[in-house]
A = this chain, B = another copy of it.
Amino acid sequence: MTTPLLQQEKIEQAIRILNELHLDCWLLFVRETDEQPDPALKLVVNHDLTWHSIFLLTRQGEKIAIVARYDDDLVKQSGLYTTVRGYTEHFAPLLVETLTHLNPTSIALNYAVGDVAADGLTHGMYLQLVDALKETPYARHFVSSGPLISRLRTRKTTEELVRMRRAIEETEAVFSLVTPFLQPGVTERATGEMIHTEMQRRNLGAAWSYDSCPGVKFGPNTLFGHGKPSEIAMESGFIASLDLGVRYNDYCSDLQRLWYMRQPGEQHPADVVQRAFAAVKGAIAAGKARLKPGVQGWQVDEAARSYLVNAGYPEYRHALGHSVGRHAHDGGPVLGPRWPRYAETPYYPIEEGSVFTLELGVMTERGYVSQEDEVLVTSDGCEWFSQPQEEIYLV
């Protein structure tokens, strides 16, 4: 078995981030990870674990695993950790011994307030850990590893970008089946089912809750919220708006595309649709022009939001964009307004190597006119990571 490339890249990145953040070590404490996955684990470990397991990375580059017998062979085989210590009865003695040897003054632990993608440690596990260290000073050295995990998730490695580009290609391939499928009378539900069948055929997972992935919106009476596709049927003069994210080899895409079903005699979409499409594309372009390393997400959102309002449309009621990666909503910075709902995340500075969605839409009398594409942040700006739709697909 060769050392898994992706996890190897992320471990080296984590050690660099520990140094940037002046943290002595990162302690990842997990258990029964196929039932209760820690969202950060698979960045640095390539398999599941049954018993209590501890992964420690230090700013000096030490890579230490403390795992139960039965689990330890898999960790050793991975080649990712230079020290793998197996226990039979309890992890505590080995952990105390290891921390006493390292003697860290700051220990970044896998919990975070307000960032679901960095908050894997359960409260019961936290209490167990504090109890295991009660004779030592180390439980008092815990800090949240949220800032570390946020950087680790958002700075994509080469291998991560390869997988994400493939996820986008797979999504586009699924979208290509929609044009011939759409006929008057075809329902949102049937369209969602056709897409599910194709995802299964291609062995693709859903990037979010299966029932609402894809999101399918036909015409002006479609429902909002996190629901399933409905029994609403396609008609001439309607917009079909699809929101689809797939998971390919653990990495996600998140794209929205538009179709228009022409009425008798129409060559192009109705004017109201064309104007809305131009406003949506313009607003997204305004946000994209603002996106570069060092800016804060709310500034990017504001550029798109004010463009849309100046074009005479109502504000969208969500964020302009979010980080994509292992999850469709991958945590870290949000390109969103400074609403309490988003807590601190619109203030996080943007970093090179991040991949964000840019997404918004407006409701029209013909349906929901929306677009969503992905961009990769470069050293001085950003570039399209998916290829945006230039014209609404005609049916």
A203 CB to nearest B CB, Å: 11
Would you call A31 an interface residue if the criterion is a C-beta within 8 Å of the partner chain's C-beta atoms? yes
A291 to B107, CA, bound (A): 46
Are A112 and B89 in contact (CB-based, < 8 A)? no
Check: A201 CB closer than 8 A to any chain B CB: no
Q: With A120-B122, A122-B121 known to touch, is A113 a contact of B89 (CB < 8 Å)?
A: no
How far in angstroms is the closest Cβ of chain B from A318? 10
CA of A70 to CA of B215, assembled, Å: 14
A249 on the interface (CB 8 Å rule)? no
A119 contacts B by Cβ under 8 Å: yes
**A39 close to B (CB within 8 Å):** yes
* Residues in chain B near residue A119, CB distance under 8 A: 36, 122-125
Residue of B with least CB distance to A121: B123
| 0 or 1 for each of A47-83: is its CB under 8 Å from B? (1 = yes) | 0101100000000000000000011011000000000
Taking a contact as CB atoms closer than 8 A, the residue among B71, B89, B116, B144 that contacts A31 in the complex is: B116
Partner of A112, one of B113, B124, B341: B124
The interface on chain A, measured as residues whose beta carbon lies within 8 A of the other chain's beta carbons, has a size of 48
B128 & A124 in contact (Cβ 8 Å cutoff): no
Q: Please report the C-alpha to C-alpha distance between residue A224 and residue B144 in the assembled complex, in whole angstroms.
A: 37
* Closest chain B residue, CB of each to CB of A122: B119
Contact residues of A: prevailing secondary structure: loop
Q: Nearest residue in B to A328 (C-beta to C-beta)?
A: B35
Any B CB within 8 A of the CB of A344: no
Decide if A74 touches B123 in the complex (CB within 8 Å): no
- Chain B neighbourhood of A224, CB < 8 A: 70
User: Which of these, B51, B113, B227, B327, contacts A127 with CB under 8 Å?
Assistant: B113
- Is A312 close to B, CB under 8 A? no
- Whether B144 lies near A340 (C-beta < 8 A) is no
Contact B340 A89 (CB under 8 A): yes
The answer to whether B89 touches A209 (Cβ under 8 A) is no
Specify which chain B residues have a CB less than 8 angstroms from the CB of A89 in the assembled complex: 339-341
Asked if A97 CB lies within 8 Å of chain B CBs, one says no
Q: Is A114 an interface residue (CB 8 A)?
A: yes
Closest chain B CB from A41 CB (angstroms): 12
Are B340 and A90 touching (Cβ within 8 A)?
A: yes
Instruction: Give the distance in Å from the alpha carbon of A327 to the alpha carbon of B36 in the complex.
Output: 11
- A393 interfacial by beta-carbon distance below 8 Å: no
Q: Given the complex of chains A and B, what is the CA–CA distance between A39 and B37 in angstroms?
A: 11
Give A130 Cβ to nearest chain B Cβ, in Å: 10
Binary contact readout A91-122 vs B (1 if CB under 8 angstroms, 0 otherwise): 00000000000000000000111111011111
Residue pair B122, A35 in contact (C-beta under 8 Å) = no
A225 at interface (Cβ–Cβ under 8 A)? yes
User: How distant is the Cα of A116 from the Cα of B341 in the complex, in angstroms?
Assistant: 30
What's the Cα separation between A34 and B212 when bound, in Å?
Answer: 11
Inter-chain contact B124/A144, CB cutoff 8 Å: yes
A144 surroundings in chain B (CB, below 8 A): 124
Tell me whether A116 and B32 are in contact (CB under 8 A): yes
On chain B, the residues within 8 Å of A124 by CB distance are: 111-115, 118-119, 121, 144, 146
Which residue of the partner chain B has the closest CB to A50?
A: B226
Confirm or deny: A126 has a beta carbon within 8 angstroms of a beta carbon on chain B: yes
Which residues of B lie under 8 Å from residue A112 when comparing CB positions?
124
Give Cα distance in the complex from A70 to B208, angstroms: 16
Task: Give residues in A with beta carbon < 8 Å to B.
Answer: 31-32, 34-37, 39, 48, 50-51, 70-71, 73-74, 88-90, 111-116, 118-128, 131, 144, 146, 208-209, 224-227, 327, 329, 339-341
**What are the 10 A-B residue pairs with the smallest beta carbon separation, nearest first?**
A119-B124, A111-B123, A123-B126, A70-B225, A34-B209, A119-B122, A111-B124, A113-B124, A32-B116, A112-B124
